[in-house]
Amino acid sequence: MLDRLAPQAPDALLALIKLHRDDPRTDKIDLGVGVYRTGQGGTPVFGAIKAAERLLVETQDSKSYLGPEGDMGFVEALMPYVFGAGNPTMGGRIEGMQTPGGTGAVRLATALAKAAGTRRVHMGTPSWPNHAQILADLDLEVASFAHANADGTANLDAVLAAIRGAQEGDAVLLHGCCHNPTGIDYTPEQWNAIAAAFAESAALPIIDVAYQGLGHGMDEDAVGMRTVLAAVPEALIAYSCDKNFGLYRDRVGAFYVMAQDSGQLPAIMSNAYGLARANWSMPPDHGAAAVRLILRDPALTAMWLDELDTMRARMRQVREKLANAGTAGTVDLAPLGSQNGLFSVLPLSKDQIASLRADHGIYMAGSGRINVAGLTEGNIGKFIGALAEVTA
């Protein structure tokens, strides 16, 4: 029976990783892999994480199962940072659970929406490629709209049209901040308009918050999501700690539900637990336990936030240098200065991307997405010069 399976195309990013690894050039530049890098090119473990892990080694007395909901101490400790310190449960209407990374949270959110009757999800494009793969795997129809304008700003008209045109049972999937792959976020004023449209729509908001803290700050990056939640009766939120705690391989995420009434939460969460049990049984605990320890210890919290500030400042500096360069050949780099997070998309052809790789050792996704954290003081000049050469 297994011989009926047809070969699938290899993952393009994994292939890119191998090409970069096998390239012998010492001045090669990796702008493909979506992880933070320091000015020296490394992806370090946070000092706050190392301190929390030492505490775990000394104090953890069991590795027994936690259940499909995972580490609820982690889930609850994270809530003030996600939803705001004042009333993070929105009057008892929000409840959550741990998931294997933000990917697991997106999968659970969309699967729960389907169980509740959703059949179509409106999604801005381009988007994180796995969004479409998850929706396809769940046999959910995708109605796409253009996320970005040609000038590097968000297409507000398109998202408002999608929300206003949504039918009963539709969901709208939005990035909370630091949009992947474009880096183009909605402004606070645009989020106000989006929230007002949701308030008059039958659509269910699903908000993917994968990069909180990497744009302008923890509270600043949550403004859009919180604005929507204040305007709607119910919503689903997928959250990742993989990036803002540097826990990529530990797969640390959370899924939250905001219900119309707190009395509805037991039934909703029982469905979420059932879906989780069938998918991954129980989430991995180590990374979530480390985050819990950090968020419950003021000194470790301060250390983590300081490290996050350093990450964000470095990416801002790279973006400012790119923006200050103006144009490189036919590529206008100015919009990158107002974009957020790890990623931006450059308007390059497949041939130009191939030329950057073959002639200059610069590796990026075939879509033109670059990870700005792959640029440093030592290589940013080479990158800008190579762009100018291949697009001249």
pLDDT digits (tens, 9 = 90+) for 207-234: 999 999 999 999 999 999 999 999 999 9
Residue 194 dihedral angles phi and psi, to the nearest 5°: -65, -45
| Parallel, antiparallel or unpaired: strands 170-175 and 29-30 | unpaired
Residue 187 pLDDT exceeds 90: yes
Q: What is the mean pLDDT of the chain?
A: 95
Distance CA 142, CA 131 (A): 10
pLDDT given at position 121: 98
Mean pLDDT of 295-313: 97
What per-residue confidence (pLDDT) applies to 89?
A: 83
Per-residue pLDDT at 392? 87
280 tagged catalytic: no
* Residue 191 designated active-site: no
Burial class (CB within 10 angstroms; exposed 0-12, middle 13-18, buried 19+) of 260 = exposed
Is 114 in the active site? no
User: For residue 247, what pLDDT is reported?
Assistant: 97
pTM of the model: 0.94
Q: Out of 71, 208, 221, 242, which one is annotated catalytic? A: 208
pLDDT range class, residue 388, cuts 50, 70, 90: very high
Per the CB < 8 A criterion, the answer to whether 122 and 203 are in contact is yes
- Sign (positive or negative) of CA dihedral 177, 342, 78, 259: positive
- In the chain, the domains with their CATH numbers are 10-45+299-391 (3.90.1150.10), 65-296 (3.40.640.10)
256 vs 205: CA distance, rounded Å: 12
Q: What local confidence, expressed as pLDDT, does residue 379 receive?
A: 95
Q: What does the pLDDT read at residue 33?
A: 87
Catalytic residue among 128, 170, 250, 321: 128
What would the pLDDT profile of 22-73 be if each residue is shown by its tens digit?
999 999 999 998 899 999 989 999 999 999 999 999 999 999 999 999 999 9
What is the reported pLDDT for 50? 98
pLDDT at 183: 97
Indicate the pLDDT class of residue 9, thresholds 50, 70 and 90: confident
pLDDT of residue 91: 85
Q: How do residues 132-168 score in pLDDT, each as one tens digit?
A: 999 999 999 999 999 999 889 999 999 999 999 999 9
